[in-house]
Amino acid sequence: MESSSPTSLPESAVEPDFASFDLLVDALGRWSESGPAWPPARGVRSEWEEIAPRLERARRELARVLVVGVVGGTGTGKSTLVNALAAGEVTAAGDVARPTTVQPVVVAARDVDVSWLPLDAMSARLVRSDSPAVANIVLVDCPDPDTQDFQDGPADPSRPSAGNRNRDVLEAVLPACDVLLLVATAQKYRSWIVAREVAAFAPGRPLFFVQTHASRDPDIRADWKRELESQGFDVPRIYRIDGVEAAARSAARLEPEPEFRDLVAAIDGELAGRAARRVRRTGALDLAAWFTRQARTGSAPTAAPVAALVSGVETERKRLEGILARSIGETLRANRSAWQRLIGDDVVARWHGGPFASFLHVIAAAGSFWSRVRPGAGVVGRLLAGRPIDATCRDGGWRAVEELGLPAAEVEQSRSVLAGLAARAGMHAPLVGRARLDDAAAATATSALVDRAGQWLSAGIDRLVAERRSRVGRPVVHWVFEVLFSALLVTVLVRAGWNFFHGNLWQGGPVSGIGFLEEALVWVILWGLVLRWLIMWLVRVGLDRDIQSLVGSVASSQLIDPLLADFAAAASACSSWLDEGARLAAEADRLADVSGETPGLGRLRRPTS
């Protein structure tokens, strides 16, 4: 860290920005690397892999000198300008042949350590200079981008330019540059190829703009400024100098012309010492903001399809739940007798100590034989018959689900609809499965569904039964029925006693005998059955409404989820990834906006198309 240079800002005013920048870079890294297996996320990840090292370097090497790359079309006087700044012939310049510079030249002051510069990868030559203009920066004379063939394929070997690799060399040099010094002439300031190369490397790299050949060409700065602004650049100033003149003056140790002096002063003021930190931080923030904007532009077209998938999952889930709820409700209603048995048996089992209770136990014992003959079918039938869901139900695959009342065809229809929505959002395997589940996936999904349905239904049925039991099975109800039943019994016994004691012993009439008791027994049984029917009626009252409310709770029980799990998970993953991207973009924009100004330097503000 450089601590000796004069500082205009107190340390504390700068540090919070660094802290939030660090947080932003960490969040961007997490976001980029945690994206789902989805083309937009993959694109962001590969873009991140490109810029992450640059952001990391910006954090690590905050205090090292800045590398200024001099770029522009061939013949615009890059080398002449470098010579003028270095106050000596450090690189070949002239009009003998185009291109002149094929090997990049790195100019640095004698005491500046440049061991961190990858000179070999840049295929560059290092030259030391004592010129004050390069005392606090490293200057790179770059090759031009416009003499190498456009075509990427093999060039026509008969052309001398087939061996021209200037643009490739340029693209190897520019990554090492922190700041660009863009040189143009009246002939070249609207060059398409130069604009393309600069646009590719401008994100996160502040720029100086210089029009050369001032003594020969008209002043085109106003038009160039418009052109640059249309490409998204902030252009605070364009310097207009004559490189040849400046080089001659600096060689002759003459006072430089005002524009050239301004340029040198700007380089020193904007790039040296403490300013370097600001430039680097601004550049890094611009780069982060550019990255988030680029990522958002890339994924923006998928936002609507992802939202459509999210709502599609919801629609299809509701549709399948509706089908399931309807048919479970129908099955529950159709199994009236099973309900009755289930609740009635339960009630009766708890009634003890009374003639009516004993009567009911006898009937239940006889009835249980019948229920064993006709066991209930499917999951609902099993549960109503009081048997648990076991492995045979779970492993039944689609059959088990269809028994629940959800046809496989409806599930496949939903998955097919969702597969279409997913395809529109660019989601494919392995992010989402196919419309038709394969056997293994179907087995997992259906057994999960049967399991959940079993738990939900048995809990619901238990609740219903318990509620009815507590209503019908209360002791007071029991005793009312006992009294009603006993009343006939007592009447019969009183009648028999009266008959015997009064009629026979007192009045001497004939004994009614066993015939009366047989007849009475029939009446008692009939009366018992009537009372039992009455209990069952009490059990049944309001059952439909209760079944309806049980079935209505199907939505909150998430029964359908296993069948659409892949689509639901993909939709939510992609949609939250997009949301996080939007949040980070806003944060990066905010930081870039509040970051320190670099008044003399141009910046690329918005992504180039």
Partner 1 sequence: MAPDSLVPRMSSAPTLAPPSFAAWAGTVAELCRQVEQLVPLAAALGAEDPAARGWYAALFGKLKPQVSREPLLVAAVCGGTNTGKSLITNTLVGAAISRSVPEAARTLHPVASLAPGVAARTDLAALFPGFTPVPWTSEADAVDATAVDVLVWREDLAGTQPERLVVLDTPDIDGTLRVNWHRAELVRTAADVVVAVLTQQKYNDAAVRDFFAAAVAAGKTLIVVFNMVDWPRQRERIAGWLATFTAETAAVPAAVYAAPHDFAAAEAGRITLHPLPELTPDGTAVPLAERLSTGDFDRIKRQAMAGALRVVADPEHGLGAWLDGLDRAAAGWRDAQRLLEREGRVQVELPAPPREIVWDEVWRWLEPRRSAIDLVVSGGYRTVGQGLSWAARRLGVGRTAAERKEDFTATELEALKRALADFVDRLDDACRRDTRLAARLAPRLATADRSAWYADLERRHAALPLVSEDYRTFVRTELDKFAAANPGMVKAVLTGLTVGSVVRPVMTIALFSAGAAAVPAAAGVLHHVLDFGVTVAAPLAGEGAVAAAAQGIRPLIERLFAGWSAERGRILAETLHDVVLGDGVAEIASLAEAGRRPEIARARQLLVECSRESA
Q: What 3 state SS string does 507-530 have? A: CCCCCCCHHHHHHHHHHHHHHHHH
Q: Applying CB under 8 A, which of residues 1, 19, 97, 252 lies at the interface with partner 1?
A: 97
The yes or no reply on residue 407 touching partner 1 (CB under 8 A) is yes
**Size of interface with partner 1, in residues (CB under 8 A):** 53
Query: Nearest CA to 468 among 559, 334, 342?
Result: 342
149 versus 268: smaller Cβ distance to partner 1: 149
Cβ(312)–Cβ(417) below 8 Å: yes
Q: How far apart are CA 233 and CA 195, in angstroms?
A: 11
Query: Nearest CA to 179 among 199, 196, 204?
Result: 204
Q: How far apart are CA 308 and CA 571, in angstroms?
A: 9
14 versus 307: smaller Cβ distance to partner 1: 307
CB of 554 to partner 1, least distance (A): 21
The yes or no reply on residue 468 touching partner 1 (CB under 8 A) is no
Q: How far apart are CA 474 and CA 305, in angstroms?
A: 58
CB of 333 to partner 1, least distance (A): 17
DSSP assignment, residue 306? Answer: H
The yes or no reply on residue 188 touching partner 1 (CB under 8 A) is yes
462 contact partners, CB below 8 Å, separation of at least 6: none
The yes or no reply on residue 223 touching partner 1 (CB under 8 A) is yes
Q: How far apart are CA 285 and CA 281, in angstroms?
A: 6
The yes or no reply on residue 216 touching partner 1 (CB under 8 A) is yes
CB of 129 to partner 1, least distance (A): 27
* Four-residue CA torsion sign, 434, 438, 441, 446: positive
Q: In degrees rounded to 5, what are phi and psi of residue 4? A: -80, -25
Q: Which stretch binds partner 1 (CB under 8 A): 41-49, 93-101, 173-181, 510-518?
A: 93-101
Report the C-alpha dihedral over residues 546, 550, 555, 557, rounded to 10 degrees: 160
Tell me the HSE value of 92 on the side-chain side, using a 13 A CA sphere: 13
277 sits in which H/E element: helix 274-334
Q: How far apart are CA 209 and CA 237, in angstroms?
A: 7
CB of 207 to partner 1, least distance (A): 17
- Tell me the DSSP string of 26-45: HHHHHHHHT--SSHHHHHHH
Q: How far apart are CA 100 and CA 89, in angstroms?
A: 14
Q: Applying CB under 8 A, which of residues 25, 220, 404, 554 lies at the interface with partner 1?
A: 220
189 versus 209: smaller Cβ distance to partner 1: 189
The yes or no reply on residue 70 touching partner 1 (CB under 8 A) is no
Q: Applying CB under 8 A, which of residues 40, 99, 344, 376 lies at the interface with partner 1?
A: 99
The yes or no reply on residue 73 touching partner 1 (CB under 8 A) is yes
Q: Applying CB under 8 A, which of residues 63, 119, 135, 435 lies at the interface with partner 1?
A: 435
- Tell me the DSSP string of 170-183: HHHHGGG-SEEEEE
The yes or no reply on residue 195 touching partner 1 (CB under 8 A) is yes
Residue the block writes with tokens 């905050």: 62
Residues in 107-166 at the binding interface with partner 1, rule: CB under 8 A: 146-150, 158-161
Side chain identity at 556, as an amino acid letter?
S
Do the strands 238-240 and 207-211 form a parallel or antiparallel pair, or are they unpaired? parallel
The yes or no reply on residue 191 touching partner 1 (CB under 8 A) is yes
Q: Which stretch binds partner 1 (CB under 8 A): 57-65, 96-104, 389-397, 502-510?
A: 96-104
The yes or no reply on residue 430 touching partner 1 (CB under 8 A) is no
Q: Is 409 exposed, middle or buried (0-12, 13-18, 19+ CB in 10 A)?
A: exposed
Side chain identity at 348, as an amino acid letter?
V
The yes or no reply on residue 417 touching partner 1 (CB under 8 A) is yes
Cβ(415)–Cβ(560) below 8 Å: no
Q: Applying CB under 8 A, which of residues 102, 193, 323, 441 lies at the interface with partner 1?
A: 193
Residues in 448-467 at the binding interface with partner 1, rule: CB under 8 A: none
524 versus 570: smaller Cβ distance to partner 1: 570
User: How far does Cα 372 stand from its chain's mean position?
Assistant: 53
Pick left, alpha or beta for residue 584 (phi over 0 → left; psi -120 to 50 → alpha; otherwise beta). alpha
CB of 412 to partner 1, least distance (A): 4
CB of 371 to partner 1, least distance (A): 16
The yes or no reply on residue 197 touching partner 1 (CB under 8 A) is no
Using alpha carbons, list the distances in angstroms from residue 370 to 106, 337, 367. Answer: 100, 12, 5
Q: How far apart are CA 412 and CA 442, in angstroms?
A: 11
CB of 581 to partner 1, least distance (A): 23
The yes or no reply on residue 428 touching partner 1 (CB under 8 A) is yes
CB of 442 to partner 1, least distance (A): 12
The yes or no reply on residue 50 touching partner 1 (CB under 8 A) is no
The yes or no reply on residue 189 touching partner 1 (CB under 8 A) is yes
CB of 424 to partner 1, least distance (A): 4
CB of 167 to partner 1, least distance (A): 9
143 versus 528: smaller Cβ distance to partner 1: 143
Residues in 532-551 at the binding interface with partner 1, rule: CB under 8 A: none
CB of 443 to partner 1, least distance (A): 17
Query: Nearest CA to 314 among 400, 418, 221, 183?
Result: 418
Q: How far apart are CA 450 and CA 405, in angstroms?
A: 11
CB of 248 to partner 1, least distance (A): 15
417 versus 443: smaller Cβ distance to partner 1: 417
Q: Which stretch binds partner 1 (CB under 8 A): 211-219, 264-272, 342-350, 480-488?
A: 211-219
Side chain identity at 94, as an amino acid letter?
G
167 contact partners, CB below 8 Å, separation of at least 6: 143, 144, 145, 146, 148, 193, 197
377 versus 490: smaller Cβ distance to partner 1: 377
Coil vs helix vs strand at 466? helix
The yes or no reply on residue 420 touching partner 1 (CB under 8 A) is yes
274 versus 428: smaller Cβ distance to partner 1: 428
CB of 416 to partner 1, least distance (A): 4
The yes or no reply on residue 42 touching partner 1 (CB under 8 A) is no
Q: Applying CB under 8 A, which of residues 30, 98, 318, 502 lies at the interface with partner 1?
A: 98
161 versus 455: smaller Cβ distance to partner 1: 161
Site residues, partner 1 (CB under 8 A): 73-76, 95-99, 146-150, 158-161, 185-193, 195, 216, 218-220, 223, 227, 231, 407-410, 412-413, 415-417, 419-421, 423-424, 428, 434-436
